[in-house]
Amino acid sequence: MSSVASRELRNNTRGVLERVAAGEDLEITVDGRPVARLSAMHPTRPRWVSRDALLAALGFIQADPGLTADLDSLLPETTDDLDPL
């Protein structure tokens, strides 16, 4: 990880941010002492996911059977058996 002095960050903010946007992680120092890390926000995470990709990712997630039983005991009357309009 590269280091950037706080003075350089102050004097060349855009240049430092362009390095970060390009994927570089930076350590910000004050008087030679590291005080912060600067990295891109979610550099590899897509902003949106297609419907098929979302269903594939969520397809394996199931409710905990114990939770389902607890909810059924707390709320025995549901509207799940009503016909849709």
Four-residue CA torsion sign, 28, 29, 30, 35 = positive
The predicted structure's pLDDT at residue 27: 97
Give per-residue pLDDT as tens, 51-76.
888 888 887 777 787 887 888 888 77
The sheet with strand 2-5 has its strands ordered as 2-5, 26-30, 33-38
Residue-number span of the structural domain to which 21 is assigned: 2-38
Q: Is residue 32 in a domain?
A: yes
Q: Is residue 9 in a domain?
A: yes
Q: Is residue 54 in a domain?
A: no
DSSP string, 15-59: HHHHHHHTT--EEEEETTEEEEEE--SSTTS-S---HHHHHHHHT
DSSP category for residue 78? -
For residue 16, the domain's CATH number is 3.40.1620.10
Q: Is residue 68 in a domain?
A: no
Q: Of 5-9, 45-49, 75-79, which has the strongest mean pLDDT?
A: 5-9
pTM score of the predicted model: 0.50
Average pLDDT over residues 38-56: 79
Q: Is residue 60 in a domain?
A: no
The predicted structure's pLDDT at residue 49: 80
Average pLDDT over residues 22-31: 93
Q: Is residue 78 in a domain?
A: no
Number of structural domains, the chain?
1
- Tell me how far apart the alpha carbons of residues 24 and 62 are, in angstroms, rounded to a whole number: 38
Q: Is residue 19 in a domain?
A: yes
